[in-house]
Amino acid sequence: MYIPAIYKNENQEDIKKFIAENGFAILVNQTNAKLWATHIPLILDENEAGKAILVGHISKENPQGESFKTNTEVLAIFTGVHSYISSSWYDHENVPTWNYVAVHVYGKVKTLNLEEATKSLKKLVDKYEATSEKPLRIEDLSKQTMLQARGITAFEIEITGIEAVKKMSQNRDAKNHQNIISELEKTGCPNSILVAQEMSKKP
């Protein structure tokens, strides 16, 4: 991804946290010689060799899974809050822009066997059920329900590169920065308010 230096995020802890909090990703590759993308939750983990991996699964009906056998190159895109930024909110003339946060993870994909797949499903469900009133647990599901696990292709992606952008008007002075936050809040739009909250965080 092209990232101007001022917007590059190289804080690894921050990037890990972002992936954990924005885990619904887009998995991109070339499938049957066509750009292909699937929207799925991915979890950041470590393999037995201690290397950073992403773990996820797609339907067996999705041809992307078949493509993993011959083409291991994938890109996982994690997106966060974003909003249009009007330059009419600045105290000087300029062009409008867009504030956003995103992380691109490059890696090599390999499919998992049924046992590994089931373990990965447990981690995924435990993560998202952590705040449930009555947390669902994979190990409590009937054999019948767990047959659905045979309908998926589970995989891990050995990470080869991470690129992270955080474009949050860092190029503006304190006065303009604060004014952008106030104007975003005024819009009443949920996305804009989330960007205002992100911009308000101490770096």
> Are 190 and 76 in contact, with CB atoms under 8 Å apart?
no
Q: Is residue 2 involved in binding a second copy (CB under 8 A)?
A: yes
Per-residue x/- track, 88-127, a second copy (CB under 8 A): x----xxxx-x-x-x-x-x------------------x--
* Closer by beta carbon to a second copy, 98 or else 114: 98
The rounded distance, in Å, linking the Cα atoms of 169 and 185 is 15
* Closer by beta carbon to a second copy, 42 or else 53: 42
Torsion of CA 188, 20, 167, 74, to 10 degrees: -120
| Piece in contact with a second copy (CB under 8 A), picked from 45-53, 80-88, 108-116, 171-179 | 80-88
The rounded distance, in Å, linking the Cα atoms of 52 and 160 is 9
> Are 168 and 177 in contact, with CB atoms under 8 Å apart?
no
> Are 100 and 80 in contact, with CB atoms under 8 Å apart?
yes
| Contact positions vs a second copy (CB under 8 A) | 1-2, 4, 24, 26, 28-30, 34-41, 58-59, 61-64, 73-75, 77, 79, 82, 84, 86-88, 93-96, 98, 100, 102, 104, 106, 125, 128-129, 131-136, 141-142, 145, 148, 165, 187, 190, 194
